[in-house]
Structure 1
Amino acid sequence: MSESILYVVATPIGNLADISERALKVLRSVDLIAAEDTRHTRQLLMHFTINKPLFSVHDHNEQQRIEKVIAELSAGQSIALVSDAGTPLISDPGFHVVQAVRQAGFQVVPVPGPCALVTALSAAGMPTDRFCFEGFLPAKSSGRKKQLLQVEEETRTLVFYESPHRIVDSLTDMADVLGGHRRITVAREITKTFETFYTGSLDEVLVWIQADANQQRGEFVLVVAGAPAKEDEEAAAVSAEKVLKVLLDELPVKQAAALCAKITGQKKNALYQQALELQKAE
């Protein structure tokens, strides 16, 4: 194997059988392995009877590790960069190291393999010709809603990662900002024993996940349908207004708006305001 190369090696996201022959060959051949969590990676290596020196490269020390990586490459060493699961740099550490290694004139070689976002997209049943990866949403609700507002009108399929302790709060904020009618596929524990794919509206998925604490465990990929194109939105708005007018003849404003939202998929709050305006205009 060539020396002075940084290999970016994808590792399994759950099922260890998903590791590639090439990844195993590289891990067995390099001089050093830079791991997000050395304890986690050591378990992976032990499973495949690989014994190599490890050093950590994670979110809190990546900038400091650049000097070591460059020094080792300068000394003719080869290094494999791995994360805890999946492809390094995809919502995982490694960007700063890879950038610095390339700028220093050393070769960076990708060893492709598992990636949670691509794996989820392949089985979610959502459009995959164009998609937008947003990674993890902010921890606080205000930050989440701010980021969701930025992609509210994005027509591409949206992909997010989420952790178990924030999954319900994130889905709630998505329903508030994107609308409870928006379609979503929740992919949970992909490639693992309790792998789950569940599709429905955000409102439906929230009811499902809140009813079963087991479905709130593990790691999540959220695949959300993009917003309808503008011309579709305009046609839907015209249709919603017609429905709203009919309902207002028989129901109070609040009930008319709520029922119209269920029928048309439009946002309830906007329909409520529209209903008030229609009443004033009469």
Structure 2
Amino acid sequence: MEIKKPTLYIIPNFIGSNDSLENISKYNLRIIDELNYFIVESEKKSRRFIKKILPTKNQDDLIFFQIKKNKNDINNEKYLKPLIKGQNMGLMSDSGNPVIADPGASIINTAHVLKINVKPLVGPSSILLALISSGMKGQRFTFNGYLPINSKERIKKLKLLEKKSKKNDETQIFIETPYRNNQLLDLTKKVLSQNTQLSIASCLNSKDEKIISLSIVEWKKEEINLNKKPTVFLIDAK
């Protein structure tokens, strides 16, 4: 008889302010209810998420391994101790899917090295939601994460992404720390070519959700406040 291996489940969290249980499948609820060990970005937010979706689950039974944000912390096996001992675990971030613009990739890689099963659960990704609602190319795209903070380097990067988009006929996607969104939007208006398409997807899955796709010349006529609002930026150069 085949021995069932322990599994690391990659658990999606809510995005936006719409934290209705309607956004979570019954399968996800069942899996999370069966788990007591979790690798998390923030214990407080993860406990709140579990309490929201499974109010009767005993919080005292839950054990959390909080991911350290120290780049020198390379001992991933310490997060996986329950798995190594035969227990299933869940990996979750504070919002949306883990790993994409969030920590967890190196831990999952270590799980593969240790021959541990890895199973992603279906859930929201702001990056993909922004892409499919932008009207831009979904066949070829690149997610670039955060742009450089330095002004000169940021301008250089924006021009490079525009060049790549046009040369490779692909959508370029990037994000910013929410309190710098307005500055980034203003910079794209100044730096990018008039015909380049820019899409912004802000506050996805919330009552303040905005998804707008316009050319740069059209954006120069628009006024929008993105300050402190989670936003995904996408460009498609013509």
TM-score by length of 2: 0.84
Aligned length: 223
1:173 aligns with 2:170: no
* SS at structure 1 position matched to 2:158: helix
Which residue number in structure 1 is paired with residue 228 of structure 2?
Answer: 217
Question: Which amino acid is 1:16 matched to?
Answer: D
> Which residue of the other structure, out of 133, 139, 145, is the alignment partner of 1:123?
133
Is the radius of gyration larger for structure 1 or structure 2?
1
CA distance in 1, matches of 2:228, 2:215: 20
CA distance in 2, matches of 1:206, 1:93: 35
- Does the CA-based 8 Å contact 2:189-2:219 persist in structure 1? no
- In structure 2, do the counterparts of structure 1 residues 61 and 152 end up closer, same or farther at CA, with 3 Å as the change threshold? closer
Counterparts of 1:66-145 in structure 2 under 5 Å?
A: 66-145=76-155
Using the TM superposition, give the Cα deviation of residue 65 of structure 1 relative to its aligned residue in structure 2, in angstroms. Answer: 5.8
> Which residue of the other structure, out of 12, 15, 19, is the alignment partner of 1:16?
19
> Which stretch shifts more, 13-22 or 56-65?
56-65
* SS at structure 2 position matched to 1:45: helix
CA distance in 2, matches of 1:75, 1:91: 30
> Which stretch shifts more, 215-224 or 175-184?
175-184
Structure having the higher helix fraction is: 1
Counterparts of 1:226-265 in structure 2 under 5 Å?
A: 227-228=237-238
Deviation by residue 1:215-244 (Cα, 9 ceiling, x = unmatched): 43310011211x23xxxxxxxxxxxxxxxx
Using the TM superposition, give the Cα deviation of residue 178 of structure 1 relative to its aligned residue in structure 2, in angstroms. Answer: 2.6
Using the TM superposition, give the Cα deviation of residue 201 of structure 1 relative to its aligned residue in structure 2, in angstroms. Answer: 2.5
Deviation by residue 1:43-96 (Cα, 9 ceiling, x = unmatched): 111112243222211533783561322322111121100011111110100011
Using the TM superposition, give the Cα deviation of residue 143 of structure 1 relative to its aligned residue in structure 2, in angstroms. Answer: 2.7
- Does the CA-based 8 Å contact 1:158-1:223 persist in structure 2? yes
- Does the CA-based 8 Å contact 1:35-1:55 persist in structure 2? yes
Root-mean-square deviation (CA, aligned residues, Å) is 2.2
Question: Which amino acid is 2:205 matched to?
Answer: T
Identical positions, percent? 26
Unaligned runs of 5+ in 1: 229-282
* SS at structure 1 position matched to 2:32: helix
Deviation by residue 1:192-222 (Cα, 9 ceiling, x = unmatched): 111111222235435534xx54x43310011
> Which residue of the other structure, out of 156, 163, 167, is the alignment partner of 1:153?
163
Unaligned runs of 5+ in 2: none
Question: Which amino acid is 1:108 matched to?
Answer: V
- In structure 2, do the counterparts of structure 1 residues 66 and 96 end up closer, same or farther at CA, with 3 Å as the change threshold? same
CA distance in 2, matches of 1:41, 1:109: 19
- In structure 2, do the counterparts of structure 1 residues 10 and 65 end up closer, same or farther at CA, with 3 Å as the change threshold? farther
Which residue number in structure 1 is paired with residue 33 of structure 2?
Answer: 28
Using the TM superposition, give the Cα deviation of residue 35 of structure 1 relative to its aligned residue in structure 2, in angstroms. Answer: 1.1
- In structure 2, do the counterparts of structure 1 residues 116 and 89 end up closer, same or farther at CA, with 3 Å as the change threshold? same
* SS at structure 2 position matched to 1:99: helix
Question: Which amino acid is 1:166 matched to?
Answer: R
Which residue number in structure 1 is paired with residue 212 of structure 2?
Answer: 198
Using the TM superposition, give the Cα deviation of residue 191 of structure 1 relative to its aligned residue in structure 2, in angstroms. Answer: 0.4
* SS at structure 1 position matched to 2:8: strand
Deviation by residue 1:98-123 (Cα, 9 ceiling, x = unmatched): 11111112111111210001111222
CA distance in 2, matches of 1:88, 1:151: 25
Which residue number in structure 2 is paired with residue 263 of structure 1?
Answer: none
